[in-house]
Amino acid sequence: MASRQAHELTGWAAGIAAAAWILHREAAGPYHVWALVTVVAGYLGGTAPDWLELIPWRKGKRWCTHRTITHWVPAWAGLLYGSNLGLPGCWWCAPLFGFAAGGLIHLLIDWPNPRGVPILWSRHSLNLWKSGRADSFVVVMCWIAAVWVFDYLIFGSVHFHRALSLIELA
Ligand SMILES: [Zn+2]
């Protein structure tokens, strides 16, 4: 797996992108509280596939094999899809959406490692790098993606276009 720290940092990024979606769907509630809860839920989801494997009262013991059922892509994708259906009416769908987004990002960054993740019926790996080798690259890419999503959904990409024109001027 990528390091826990990488999963935490990409979880925050997923939470921010998910919160932008919550704001966009007008499901943020009073004082944007559900959007803020969604950011935290994204962070929790970012590490969830790993901690959901553990038995809380038995230190270091797992109830299932590492990277199996808790890393199953359809489960997390289904959670994301289902929670989105509940928006904007159901308030707890917002944090659930953030949690699912964090979980999916977790799977995405476990995918390039040799061990891979269970996509449908079998395990698949992109086999790009060993565990933890490309952490900084992965974290930076996720944050760029999150900022882009936020800018797109909230500001209609105005900052993105401004950045592009600056590059063109240079
Ligand atoms: Zn994992």
Q: How far is the CA of 35 from the centre of ligand 1 (A)?
A: 25
What is the Å distance from ligand 1's center to 79 Cα? 17
CA of 134 to the centre of ligand 1 (A): 15
Q: Using 50, 70 and 90 to split pLDDT, how confident is the model at 3?
A: confident
CA of 159 to the centre of ligand 1 (A): 33
What's the pLDDT tens digit per position in 116-166?
999 988 889 999 988 778 899 999 999 999 999 999 999 999 999 999 999
**Distance of alpha carbon 18 from alpha carbon 165, whole angstroms:** 27
Residue 117 CA, ligand 1 centroid: distance in Å? 8
Residue 40 or residue 129, greater confidence? 40
